[in-house]
Homo-oligomer: A and B are copies of this chain.
Amino acid sequence: MSRSSEVPVFRHEALAVVFKIIRADDAASVLSVLAWQRARDPFADAWALPSGPVNEDETLGACVARHLATKVDLTEIAHLEQLETRSDPHRDPFRRTIATAYLGLVPSTAEPHLPDNAAWIPVADLPTMAFDHASVVASATERLQRKLSYSNLGFGLAPATFTIAQLRDIYSAALGHEVSATNLQRVLQRRGQIEATGESAPSSGSGGRPAALYRFSTRALAITDPFATFKP
């Protein structure tokens, strides 16, 4: 067995792709990702995902949560899951670093106080990003969009209670295309993902029937459509 001194060791960091649906000025909602602008090389002025080194006695998952809490004051994370690990020897031009990316979701109602150099950036038009972060965001987006289709992952982006119209805007922003409120309600209700609270949303002011409020039955990941073809 090799002596420990012979075995190479690596810097290892955790990387967070945190999504949140942001309401733009024109009342359209947009899928956005948390990023901060780098001050120095490498990739000075480029935008980067929140990240940080793993401690000696800490899980990668704990590491992500810790860095998000301390560096961008983000504690209202509804869901966090591991995405993938990037290991290209030259992804960091200064020093080799292996990075494990996580996917995090923040409800659209949360308004964490961000430091000055951090912001929510629309995924649709990302600025120049540091390292391989642009492709990590792409991976995360794909994962989110798939998982919205076969699981109850919407709970991570939605407020505690919501109208179907609000939920439609959230799904529409996350998926990047129009979603029918009618069918959204029917599908999610049949799958048992959402249930009516019995209350109604306050009047919108401009007339129209008041909307019923719904909630997600479970605010933890559940695969509601296992999609097992060739079932027994």
Counting CB contacts under 8 A, is A149 at the interface? yes
* 8 Å CB contact of A87 from B9, B54, B145, B171: B54
* Cβ-defined contact, B1 with A89, below 8 A: no
Counting CB contacts under 8 A, is A58 at the interface? yes
In the assembly, how many copies of this chain are there? 2
* Cβ-defined contact, A40 with B1, below 8 A: yes
* 8 Å CB contact of A12 from B10, B88, B177, B180: B10
Whole-angstrom distance from the CB of A181 to the nearest CB of chain B? 11
In the assembled complex, which residues on chain B have CB atoms less than 8 Å from the CB atom of A187? 229-230
**Chain A positions 2-46 with a Cβ under 8 Å from a chain B Cβ:** 2, 4, 7-12, 40
- Contact string against B for A residues 41-78, beta-carbon threshold 8 Å, 1 for contact and 0 otherwise: 00000000000011111111100000000000000000
* Cβ-defined contact, A59 with B178, below 8 A: no
Whole-angstrom distance from the CB of A130 to the nearest CB of chain B? 14
In the assembled complex, which residues on chain B have CB atoms less than 8 Å from the CB atom of A10? 9-10, 12, 54
**Chain A positions 164-201 with a Cβ under 8 Å from a chain B Cβ:** 171, 175, 177-180, 183-184, 187
Instruction: Count residues of A near B (Cβ-Cβ below 8 Å).
Output: 50
Interface centre among A12, A56, A100 (most CB of B within 10 A): A12
17 residue pairs bridging A and B, Cβ less than 8 Å apart: A8-B56, A9-B12, A10-B54, A12-B12, A56-B89, A60-B87, A61-B87, A82-B84, A87-B100, A149-B230, A150-B227, A171-B230, A177-B232, A179-B230, A184-B230, A187-B229, A225-B227
Residues of A within 8 A of B (CB): 1-2, 4, 7-12, 40, 53-61, 82, 84-85, 87-89, 95-96, 98, 100, 145-146, 148-150, 171, 175, 177-180, 183-184, 187, 225-230, 232
